[in-house]
Structure 1
Amino acid sequence: MPSATFPFHDLSDYVAIPRVTGLRLSPDGSWLAASVQTLSKDRKKFVTSIWRIDPQGGAPHRLTRSAEGEGGPRFLPDGSLLFTSKRPAPDNGEGNSGHNGDRDEGPAMWLLPAGGGEARIVASLPGGINGLETAADAPAIVVVSPALGDEDERLRKERKDAGVTAILHETVPVRYWDHDLGPADPRLFAVTPPGADSAETEDSRYETRDLTPDAGRALFQPSVALSPDGTLAAVTWWRWRDGVQAHQEVVLIDLVTGKRTVLLTDPDLDYASPAFSPDGLHLACLCASHFTREEPHDETLVLVDTDGSGEARDLTGDLDRWPGSPVWDPAGRWVYFTADDTGRHPVFRVAVDTGEIGRLTTDHGHYSELNPSPDGTALFALRSAVDAPPAPVRIDVATGEVVALDSPGGHLALPGRLTELETTADDGQPLRAWLVLPDGASQDHKAPLLLWVHGGPMSSWNSWSWRWNPWLMAARGYAVLLPDPALSTGYGRAFVARGYHQWGSRTFDDVMTLTDVAVARDDVDGSRTAMMGGSYGGYMANWIAGHTDRFKAIVSHAGLWALDQMMSTTDVAHWFHPQFGDPLTEPGMYEQNSPHLHVEKITTPILVIHGNKDYRVPVAEAHRLWWDLKRHQVDAKFLYFPDENHWILTPGNVAVWYETVFAFLAQHVLAEPWRRPALL
């Protein structure tokens, strides 16, 4: 194991830590392909590359390297590695213009041979390749690419030559997180290597064939899985109705004929994350009910025969947790999945025949990217935790033992320790939170407290976060409280329902109760406290500001302010309106829960932060909040990022974000002079 590094006291060191974001096991189980983000040479962006991880514990090494980066690794049965990249093809005679001249393309698909050698482009499409999937036992490939009708390339050129960027929408959604949707719509393309009678050369290109010419907006953010024999694709398919509402089906697409068959559909349910059994006869997938005005949704894992016979069978109906990321063991006996669970995110498995459910991992880790070994004895996965960044591990499926593998990120020495708090809410509901304590916190050296509320709202503090990292605060002497209040996941559906109609008041009471427990400790200074949050956490920052003056400072990042405005302008208005109703005819939920109605009570200094490209919580929320605070003479600052989205993602802006937060909290919590960040 490499020696520990100490990157939390210097932001330039922090943003340079390699970040493991994906993991894929080769067909023979001999190595793992990991997607890893690192700083570009000019330190202005993060670039993803592919690294080779040794399942036996050898040192990792980098496989790909380019200014544009590489991602989405997938294996072919012979061990060849496919990935996507925008990097130019070597020696293509076009200088640095890219693999197709001066056309403004997205990523192409590259192949790295199993026996070694240089990677080469094997397929490209005018709209780029945004995702790819392969089959376990056949050289079948399906890619996702946006297309402008049947004459995609010609239409793209004509729009560019005419200077047209306009988009005419006829259905929702029209944007997503930070980018506009359209005019091209996602389609699926089958990709076929050259035939056996064609000698493959370095210049060979694979044939691409449109499988879904009539998809329209149905393939918005699709999940795709291929049957082991490569004959079928299971695809999530949106069925839009009434102009604004939809449900998500699972369809089977024949990769030879393109014939599409609806396998799972229900207007009140959404299906997601399909996964074929090893024999291809069954499909496991997630099933979620819709939100209603009366109650929150529910989620489960179902099993259905791929020949369409019989009804879908609920595999996890007796588990009061929401499953995710299903994968099959090689023998088809178990389906492994993960789920939030009391501040953890463990691996579970369910027996296909009996429905018996068992928890495989027992620590406080958050597991993702599950990869069963070919012999069925192990799972390879990424493990993170509130106190550990994502890193590859091996899980023994017989014992649950977790063995860490060497990671490109190395081992980080933390500037403090993690502990857990438990208490009871005023309604008798058990509550819990993580508490990060800085080095040196004691009865003689009490640490100021920072309450940090998570986003979601249906989420949980149970994993590492590069964006919302409490250890940067601990390095500056703060204790950080990470509560899971009402609406948090991992505590059962009733726990979510507690706050379903009380976004503000119920959650407020829970976080105040947990804050009381934290400040009662002899190593925490209850006279020096602050609060911050992003997204729903920013909503709670705004709500808390109007309901208590106990905090010396509040940081509101991407926070909801006026709910009737926000929930009709967000990119997911169709998600909010079934819960809250029509703000014109059913204003009750909006009026009961909107922070802006309490602005006259705000006295706490507030730092407002927002990105202009945020479509989830549109920037108008921050502009209105800023105006309302200033006209009520609240001590406030507004940190605005013209080119960032819901998160702050570029290294320089990440550093400025934290520098400003540090300075604002130091001024109001630590009574230090205001120090404006040098680059602002």
Structure 2
Amino acid sequence: MKQIGVALWLLFLPFVLFTAQAQESKPLSVDVLWQIERIGSPQISPSGEYIVAPVTRYDMDTDKGESQLWLFSPDGKTQRPLTAEGLRASQPTFSPDGQALAFISKRHKDDVGQVYILPMNQPGEATRLTSVPTGAYGIKWVGEHIYFISKVWPGKNWDDIAEQVKHEANSHVSAHQWNALPYAQFDHWLDENREAHVFRIPATGGEVQAVTQPLNIQLPRSSQSASSYDIDPSERYIALVSDSLNDGVSPNNDIFLAEIGATEATNMTPQNRGNDYNPMFSPDGQVLAFQRQLITGFYADTSNLVVYDLNKKTEKVLTEDWDRSVRGLVWTANSRGLFGTIDDAATSRVYAINARNGKVKALTGETNFSGLSISNNGILVGTNDSFLHPAQLVKIDTRNGSTTRLDTFNDALLADVELGTYESVTYKGYNGDDIQMWVHYPPGFDKSKKYPLFLLIHGGPHGAISNGFHYRWNAQTFASWGYVTAWHNFHGSSGFGQEFTDSINPDWVTAPYADTIAAANWFAEKDWIDADRMVAGGGSYGGYLSTILLGKEHPFNALLIHAPVYNMYSQMSADFAVHAERFGHYWEKPEIYRDISPHYYADKFNTPALIIHGQKDLRVPVGQSFELFRTLQSRGVDSRLIYYPDENHWILKPNNSVYWYQQVRNWVEQYATPGAQ
């Protein structure tokens, strides 16, 4: 009897272990999302010996994140912290010989970010190099100097600037004053009395030298980064981006070239009214590459790669026959080509681009890549992510695109997370055109049962949803609640060619709306979808299109509307005007705005809607949601407004994000019961 009992137990044991494992598995919840350690763009040393990348962790108790620099090796054997916990560090940049690392940090008594230097070939602590009262960012280490950006008051020396900083910190006047545009950028106000300029300091220490101030031109007023300028390897030239019109209403960013120490710069692109940006000297110093868009006022215009021969003084557009935008570029060490992460049909792929003839070759396939960095001996590294895993540090074979993972972050955390599956499908949308769509299935999906649909509408509108890991709108998290979840790349989405991207301008409504309804119909025809349990929603432009749905026929029981453009007229209070530059202002072309502004459809609003917005959102000012909420309430439509006084266009704080996901879940479950039936 005892032997039989043991035998029965041994037979039962696999089932017990399986059940225990099933019980231990967990969904990709918002709590898990905020436990993930997030790897940023890596930098590889010139020799290929070291790789450094920022890694950010978040603490729910403090509601804050902190970034450490971590050290890795190309063989995958090294993974250790390089900077101390509790001290934020970013923008790692190697010295030309790779034996030291510069980075930006704010530590000890720093009020703003400063440049720090850390030796790589010997023990030692990081030492502060700069003491700039307005802070440093956008660093590059070229030759014997470290270059950086700082926003300063023109005409003042450093002592005067320090006094000005102290005065403003102690002032009890909170007023801002503007006499010209721009006055804001995304989530912060701009000080029109300050200018962003490039400076340099010897890497061994010494006096800070102004590089661009003597040229009497400044970097773009709205935003600047390390990609706003470049220095040639001999430190003879600087190439920078500046608004040649000095017009915040309709800027024209051009590439300027100057000798360092000179008092004049040459506009290299005066003939182009579109944007020219991201100057990059080749490693041999013979060529200046940059990106060019041709259409004024269209941020998603195809970005072409242009090369300028500094000796011959000739320019060539390399990719004008390629219907994709170049981005994320790095030069090869031999100056014969570049690698880039290209938005290509809903995937960010690594491409090789020949710098002589513009020929392109795709190296990678299914999943997203970003943050490329390459060594002098040709080791290419970057990050790779997909819908099913967050960014991982990888080495990329430049011959065939195969990858070798170099980190182990998040493996233990995600080991017991049960994920669903996903696939890419194509359906017929507006005008019979093919529309690509990502479909996410819940864990344990059973096609013999019926599931509710949560259709997500991406923002932009010209930013496609690609095969990458998303923290703010994670489709796998939504799917884990018991919904088939989908992202459709409707007309206007990037990565499918210029004609497709530009097809919705200035009519933002017709094609994307038709594509959305066609997506819903595609699902309704599936045996595994319950057409009576459909909800939809999106943010930014996705919030706009969701608000358009409020006033038109649709099959959705309820809508999620985050940071929507509701009134195209009052949207003029945003940090930039969407259609004005290209198609005319509303007093010039009133019919454009009349046809596409959702508030004109308000008499038809009758769908329950959850509205979410942040006070610091200057891209879509918060008044848009208050207008929409009052409209819905006045019409007696079931609606809820969630307001964040401390968030911008995105919900970025850990606890606020958890609340966001909880409230979204409560809302959609109220109108579309989750799970298989």
2:52 aligned with 1:45 = no
Say whether 1:114 aligns with 2:120.
Answer: yes
Give the match for residue 133 of structure 1: 140
Contact map agreement 1:35 1:49 (CA 8 A) in 2:
yes
2:448 to 438, 444, 448: 444
**1:584 equivalenced with 2:587 (yes/no):** yes
* Cα displacement (A) at 1:242: 5.6
3-state DSSP class of the match of 1:207? Answer: coil
Which residue identity does 2:440 align to in structure 1? Answer: V
Q: Residue 37 of structure 2 aligns with which residue?
A: 18
* Equivalence for 1:562: 567
The reply to whether residue 612 of structure 1 matches residue 615 of structure 2 is: yes
Q: CA deviation at 1:368?
A: 1.2
**Distance in 2 separating the partners of 1:152 and 1:166:** 20
Q: Is the 8 A contact 1:233 1:252 kept in 2?
A: yes
* Match for residue 83 of structure 1 among 79, 87, 103: 103
SS at match of 1:190: strand
| Residues 335-414 of structure 1 aligned to structure 2 (within 5 Å) | 335-361=338-364, 363-376=365-378, 378-410=379-411, 412=414, 413-414=417-418
Within 5 A, what are the aligned runs for 1:208-607? 208-213=208-213, 214-215=216-217, 218=220, 220-222=222-224, 223-241=228-246, 244-257=249-262, 259-291=264-296, 297-307=301-311, 309-361=312-364, 363-376=365-378, 378-410=379-411, 412=414, 413-462=417-466, 463-566=468-571, 568-573=572-577, 575-607=578-610
Give the counterpart letter for 1:397 in structure 2.
T
In structure 2, the gaps of 5 or more residues are 1-20
Q: Is the 8 A contact 2:275 2:294 kept in 1?
A: yes
Q: Which residue matches 1:73?
A: 92
- In structure 1, how many angstroms separate the alpha carbons of the residues matched to 2:646 and 2:300? 34
Contact conserved, 1:368 with 1:382, CA < 8 A, in 2? yes
Q: CA deviation at 1:481?
A: 0.7
Given the superposition, is the C-alpha separation of residues 262 and 140 from structure 1 closer, same or farther in structure 2, using an over 3 Å criterion? farther
In structure 2, the partner of 1:172 is 181
Answer yes or no: is the 8 Å Cα contact 2:395–2:403 preserved in 1.
yes
The runs of 4+ residues in structure 1 deviating greater than 6 Å are 3-7
CA gap 1:242/1:110 in 2 versus in 1, 3 angstroms: closer
Distance (Å, rounded) in 2 between the aligned partners of 1:450 and 1:106: 43
DSSP-derived class of the 2:669 partner: helix
Match of 1:202 in 2: none
Matched, 1:184 2:194: yes
User: What's the C-alpha RMSD, in Å, of the aligned pairs?
Assistant: 2.4
Where does residue 18 of structure 2 map in the other structure?
none
Report Cα offsets for 1:143-179 as digits up to 9, x if no partner: 1111123131122223344434444334321110101
| Percent identity of paired positions between Structure 1 and Structure 2 | 27
Whether contact under 8 Å (1:40, 1:67) holds in the other structure is no
Whichever residue aligns with residue 118 of structure 1, its letter is E
For 2:652, what is the secondary structure of its paired residue? coil
The structure that is helix-richer by fraction is: 2
**Any conservation in 1 of the 2:440–2:476 contact (CA below 8 Å)?**
yes
TM superposition score normalised by structure 2: 0.89
Aligned length: 638
Query: Greater shift after overlay, 492-501 or 210-219?
Result: 210-219
SS of corresponding position for 1:440: coil
Q: Which moved more, 1:125-134 or 1:251-260?
A: 251-260
Give how far 1:420 is off.
1.3
Q: Distance between the aligned counterparts of 1:442 and 1:524, measured in 2? A: 11
Change (3 A) 1:414 1:373: farther
Hey, what's the Cα distance between the residues in 1 that align with 2:406 and 2:87? Answer: 27
| 1:311-348 C-alpha deviation (Å, 9 max, x unpaired) | 42111111111111221111111122222111111111
- The alpha-carbon deviation at position 239 of structure 1 amounts to 2.2
Listed one character per residue, the Cα deviations across residues 435-459 of structure 1 (whole Å, up to 9, x for unaligned) are: 0101122233322111001111111
Give, as a single letter, the amino acid of the residue that structure 2 aligns with 1:483: H
C-alpha distance in 1 between matches for 2:62 and 2:27: 18
How far does the alpha carbon of each residue in 1:23-63 deviate from its partner, in whole angstroms, 9 at most, with x for none? 11112111211111101483411222211122212252222
1:268 is displaced (CA, Å) by 1.0
Structure 1 gap ranges (5+): 89-97, 100-104, 195-204, 673-680
CA distance in 2, matches of 1:226, 1:671: 56
8 A contact 1:232–1:253 mirrored in 2: yes
1:209-235 Cα distance to aligned partner (Å, 9 max, x none): 222334456454231222122333221
CA distance in 2 between counterparts of 1:74 and 1:287 reads 26
TM-score (norm 1): 0.89
**Is the CA contact 1:7–1:14 (under 8 Å) kept in the aligned structure 2?**
no
Instruction: Tell me, in whole angstroms, the C-alpha distance in 1 between the residues paired with 2:134 and 2:300.
Output: 38
Indicate whether 1:158 and 2:167 are aligned: yes
Letter in 2 for 1:366: N
What is the rounded CA distance, in whole Å, between the counterparts of 1:487 and 1:532 in structure 2?
17
Distance 1:164 1:261, change over 3 A: farther
- Letter of the 1:123 partner, please give it: T
Contact kept, 8 Å, 2:60 with 2:655, in 1: the verdict is: no
SS in structure 2 opposite 1:510?
Answer: helix
1:35 aligns with 2:54: yes
Please say if residues 457 and 487 of structure 1, whose CA atoms lie closer than 8 Å, have aligned partners that are also in contact. yes
- AA aligned to 2:72 is I
Among candidates 638, 642, 646, match of residue 643 of structure 1: 646
Once the two structures are superposed, what CA deviation does each residue of 1:342-386 show, in whole Å capped at 9, x if it has no partner?
Answer: 11111112212232221121x22222111123222x421111223
In structure 2, C-alpha distance between the alignment counterparts of 1:179 and 1:163, rounded to whole Å: 19
In structure 1, what is the Cα distance between the partners aligned to 2:236 and 2:354? Answer: 26
Query: Structure 1 residues 426 and 170 mapped into 2: Cα distance closer, same or farther (>3 Å)?
Result: closer
Distance of 1:296 and 1:461 partners within structure 2:
14
Q: Distance in 2 between matches of 1:494 and 1:529?
A: 31
CA distance in 2, matches of 1:558, 1:141: 40
